[in-house]
Each structure stands twice: as structure tokens, then as C-alpha cells.
Amino acid sequence: MTTSPTTLTLAALDSRLSVPTRQLAAPGPDHDTLLRILRSAVRVPDHGKRVPFRFLRIAGDDRKALADATIARLLQRESRPAEGAIEKLRNRLTLPPLTIAVIARLGEDEKIPVSERQATASCVCLLLLQAAQAEGFGAQWLTGWPAYDRPLLERTLGLAPDEQLAGTIAMGTPQVEVPDRERPDPASLLTDWSPA
Ligand SMILES: Cc1cc2nc3c(=O)[nH]c(=O)nc-3n(C[C@H](O)[C@H](O)[C@H](O)COP(=O)(O)O)c2cc1C
């Protein structure tokens, strides 16, 4: 018996879960596989077809350089960071073989509100997670303070003033089987609207 495309699609959606970044190791997606993943990720709803996003690949030796720069910025922000904070940052950037930063492009636009373009960039992040998992990799969407630190974003990552970081998507081979977490009960979230 063949499995219907609907069943396969819903199974992929229903099995998505994040693999913590510290549990992601090499190999990650190679160049062609990454392009295949990005091809799915760019199929987002996009009001006005603005394509309000772009990607930065962080891989290889550059991961350590970015970790060093991020740690240096942390030490500028906080003279005594919390215990373990430096190691956590370093692990987050150097353990996964590949991280894709999803950058939201939010310049002047007469018609499409910034929030809608941010929503499109966030949809890209979700599709990256789905597509990476479909290719057999684990992935996790992270932000944290580095995603909002303008000096780090502009001087180190090269974002323009009208760009934001929607998130970083770490990808790699899961080192553990991640147990699912409890998911919301959709029925409890659903009400019917009726006229007042
Ligand atoms: C916009 C956004 C930012 C996130 N940033 C972080 C983060 O910085 N650190 C973290 O541990 N989890 C972060 N998460 C949560 C994880 O990506 C993930 O959703 C969570 O571990 C739950 O796993 P699940 O995707 O299997 O539900 C973020 C999620 C979103 C949507």
C-alpha cells in the first residue's frame, strides 16, 4: 500500500521538533543540500512579493571567529557575565557545523507594514527547520541577546540599519534522540466567532 502525499506531508509537519544546538554535530548539509533546503524555505507567504529576507551562512573556521567576536561583545556589555555564559555562547556557535542567519530586510515601504515583512522572515525560519529535518538533519532556531545587539549585528554580521535578525538556524546531525515536548491541545485553543 502506498502512503498518500497528504499523510506524508502531515507526518513531516507533526514530527518537527528542535534538536538543541549543543547536540548538533558534523556532518551538516553540504552546499547542494543547503540550496535544496533554502528552496523550500523561500516558499513563504509574502505580502507584496517583497522578498524581505536574506541568508548568511556561518560555517567552517568562520564559526570560531564569530564566536570570538560575540564573546568580546558580551564582555563589553557585561564586565562579569553569568557563570557558563561564555562557554554556552562558544558552544552555540562552534558545535553545529552550519548556522544560517535569517535576516529580515525592513526598509521603507509605502504599502507593506514592517510587522508583515517580519512575519514573512519568521515563516522562512520555520520552513528552514522543516526542510532541514526533511533532509535528515536536526535544527534549532535561536535568538537571545545577540539577535538584538545592534553593534554586533552591524559591525560583525554586516547588517544594514534597516535590517533585523529574524533568527539563527543551527543545523547538523543530531547526537541524541530528542524526546518530544508536550504540545498545545488545538481543540482547547479553538472557539467559534459569532456575531455579537
Ligand atoms: C523566535 C524564536 C527565538 C528562539 N530563541 C531561542 C533561544 O535563544 N534559545 C533557546 O534555547 N530557544 C530558543 N527558541 C526556542 C527553540 O527554537 C525551540 O522552539 C524550543 O527549544 C522548543 O522546541 P520545539 O521547536 O521542538 O518546540 C526560540 C524560538 C523562536 C521561535
Task: State the closest ligand 1 atom to the C-alpha of 140, by its place in the atom list counted from 1.
Answer: 17
For residue 27, whether the previous peptide bond is cis, meaning omega lies within 30 degrees of 0, is: yes
Is residue 32 classed as helix, strand or coil in its secondary structure?
A: helix
Q: Is residue 81 part of a domain?
A: yes
Please report whether residue 93 resides in a domain: yes
Q: Which pLDDT tens digit goes with each residue over 142-187?
A: 999 999 999 999 999 999 999 999 999 999 999 999 999 999 999 9
Its pTM surpasses 0.85:
yes
Domain CATH code at residue 110:
3.40.109.10
Contact yes or no for 77/144 (Cβ under 8 A): no
Pocket perturbation via mutation, ligand 1, pick of 17, 70, 125, 142 by most ligand atoms within 8 A of CB: 142
Tell whether the model's pLDDT for residue 104 goes beyond 80: yes
pLDDT tens readout for residues 40-82: 999 999 999 999 999 999 999 999 999 999 999 999 999 999 9
Is residue 97 one of the residues assigned to a domain? yes
Residue 19 alpha carbon to ligand 1 centre in Å: 10
Q: Is residue 121 part of a domain?
A: yes
In sequence order, the 6+-apart residues with CB closer than 8 A to the CB of 8 are none
Share of the chain above pLDDT 70, in %: 99
Residue at 53 is within a domain: yes
Give CA–CA dist 15/8, Å, rounded.
11
Does 186 fall in a domain?
Answer: no
How far apart are the CA of 141 and the centre of ligand 1, in A?
5
Residue 66 gets which letter from DSSP?
A: H
Atom 23 of ligand 1, residue of closest alpha carbon: 18
Domain count, the chain: 1
Q: Which domain holds residue 47?
A: 19-175
